[in-house]
Amino acid sequence: MNLKMNKTGWKLQKQRGFTVVDIAGVIVGAGLALGIAVQGADVVSSARYAQFYDELQVMETQLWTFYEKQGRWPGDCNSDGVMGFQPVNAVDSVVDFKPVQRGCKAESLLTALQDLKAKGVIAADIDNGEVLMHEFGHFFQLGHTFSPTNSALKSNVIVAYGIPQHVAAKLDLEIDGVENGMQGRLRRWDEQGMGTAWPNAEADDSSLVALAYFFESKIP
């Protein structure tokens, strides 16, 4: 009910209910809004994936740039062909960003960053945390891993912690042509071993994993 003014004053007037056309219009409008929201979420997800992939490629390019200039990898103080740090198998990893003394004396993650800065591959004044942080708010680590069957075989890796598993699986498909996390250049790195299956095959699964990218051709 509502009030309507006439010549003699206010009077009650029966309010017309919603018609089928009205309701259909509301449903169509809600559907369009939902479709736009879903499309928007897909665009954001794709943009974040692309940003992370770009960051991984930039990291790899920096390593190869240093190698081409110096004939060794950053942080490889004894020149044995691998960066002197071993990233742990975990979903996330604590990183100590405190600067280390100049000179390649102790092989570590921060020695690798120091090398990159000293040779002008990355800016000398940039914060170490900023260098290593990726799109999803966790960190990259640079180092090597041993072959489980041959301890003499070591491979350099870029490890990324705290990655949504659907992003890792999509990247695995793009790099290796498969989404298994167990073989090829991109592998799951939050469980012990040299790679295991991604935890869930659902494309929208957002559980976090770590991944290891074997950017050299030498793979255990």
**pLDDT tens, residue by residue, 184-199:** 999 999 988 888 999 8
What is the structure's pLDDT at 7? Answer: 45
> What is the rounded average pLDDT of the residues 37-58?
83
> What is the rounded average pLDDT of the residues 38-67?
88
Q: Is 158 left (phi over 0), alpha (psi -120 to 50) or beta?
A: beta
pLDDT at 57 over 90: yes
Nearest 5°: the CA angle 153, 157, 200 is 110
Domain with 102, as residue range(s), is 49-213
The side-by-side arrangement of strands in the sheet containing 140-146 is: 140-146, 154-164, 208-213, 186-188
8-12, 32-36, 76-80, 139-143, range with the lowest pLDDT: 8-12
Question: Shortest CA distance to 164 belongs to which of 214, 215, 109, 202?
Answer: 202
Question: Is residue 94 in a domain?
Answer: yes
Question: Is residue 164 in a domain?
Answer: yes
**What is the C-alpha separation between 164 and 198, in angstroms, rounded?**
10
Q: What is the pTM of this model?
A: 0.77
Question: Is residue 22 in a domain?
Answer: no
What is the structure's pLDDT at 66? Answer: 96
Question: Is residue 34 in a domain?
Answer: no
pLDDT at 4 over 60: no
User: What's the chain's average pLDDT?
Assistant: 81
Q: Classify residue 125 by burial, with Cβ atoms within 10 Å: 0-12, 13-18, 19+.
A: exposed
Enter the DSSP assignment of 133. Answer: B
Question: Is residue 7 in a domain?
Answer: no
Question: Is residue 15 in a domain?
Answer: no
Question: Is residue 181 in a domain?
Answer: yes
Question: Is residue 66 in a domain?
Answer: yes
Q: State how many domains the chain has.
A: 1
